[in-house]
Amino acid sequence: MKIDKFWLSVLVILIAGFAFTKLADNEFYFFTTYVVLQGLIMAVAWNILGGFTGYVNFGSAGFFAVGVYTTVALNKAFGLPLPVLLLAAGVICGLLGLAAGYLTLRLKGVYFAIATLATALVLETIVNNWKFVGGAAGTYVLQPKGSFIFDNYIELLFMLMLVLAVAATAISRYLSSSRIGQGLAAIRDDEVAAECMGVPTLRLKLISTTAMGALMGIAGAPFPFFVTFVDPVSAFALVIAVNAIAMPMIGGTAVWYGPVIGALLLGAIQETATVTISSELNLLIVGVMLVLFITLAPKGIVGLIQDYKKKKGANNG
């Protein structure tokens, strides 16, 4: 049996990641890669709905923050271990995604996009008024003691994020290459026509919104332990929502590896800019790159490469 190239590279990445935790001794690397990987999960999750079915979600930060505050609330109330918190965040945000999926029954196109943005802001107001998790002032979260087989907690979080990022990518790859993916693409191109041809549009949309919500929640769940201080401003940060859209748009939304390329590229640029120039400027870079790519290269980097190959093929042939 031939070993799938994808799973082979997954194995290599995970082993390399583990070796990295044992070799690198500067914690800064783990902080940086954690942020990039978090962006990657968000981008891949966004693309499952936005790229595959064409429903734009502006409220990514809302899903992320619900994951964050699930951890904060459950950790404060019961002191549950991290895997349980991840699961809880996944379930709660998956249900939220499911609700968003039913919303698509009534709201198409721009109305859906605006509704997601509005939902995120309603959730932010609720958290702002929820005293138990710190309200608008925020709250401190202690990192749990013990870091499994790792030297310190940040290495554990880094490895966790790496596993989650790989899992998110695998899910997205599965969804796009299976029959589900074909159905989602049919919805993107023409929902009414797809419905008429017998594509179960509602069920497919519910699958993709639930997967998106759950992945975004899981991406947010470890965040309180990563930053150790959480307030609504950082959990609902607009930059999270903008990144979740910009990364797939820059990489290319039509294929599963588009958001991965976009996330790695944009994440690397942002982290470099934050260190070398300033953190405000890196926000500007995201905005400018997003607008440039949408206006000049709507199919993203993947589209640019495809066009280039086609041109080259035409010249040779």
- Name, in order, each residue with C-beta under 8 angstroms of 137's C-beta and a sequence gap of 6 or more: 231
Give the HSE-up count for residue 108: Cα atoms under 13 Å, Cβ half-sphere: 7
Name which of 35 and 171 has its Cβ closer to another protein: 35
Q: How far is the CB of 296 from another protein (least distance, A)?
A: 8
Closest approach of another protein to the CB of residue 183, in Å:
19
In terms of CB distance, is 8 or 284 closer to another protein? 284
Q: Are 293 and 250 in contact (CB under 8 A)?
A: yes
Q: Of 14 and 136, which has the nearer Cβ to another protein?
A: 136
Give me 26's structure tokens.
């500067």
What's the angle, vertex CA 54, arms to CA 238 and CA 247, rounded to 5?
Answer: 40
Residues that bind another protein (CB under 8 A): 54, 56, 58, 103, 106-107, 109-111, 113-115, 117-119, 121-122, 125-126, 128-129, 136, 238, 242, 245-246, 249, 280-281, 283-284, 286-288, 290-291, 294-296, 298
Contacts (Cβ under 8 Å, ≥6 apart) of 168: 40, 41, 44, 45, 215, 219
- Minimum CB distance to another protein, residue 102 (Å): 10
3-state helix, strand, coil split of the chain in percent (to 5) is 80, 0, 20
* Nearer residue to another protein within complex by CB, 34 or 46: 46
Question: What is the smallest separation between the CB atom of 298 and another protein, expressed in angstroms?
Answer: 6
Q: How far is the CB of 96 from another protein (least distance, A)?
A: 13
Please say which residue, 51 or 222, places its beta carbon nearer to another protein.
51
In this structure, are residues 90 and 260 in contact, taking their beta carbons and an 8 Å threshold?
no
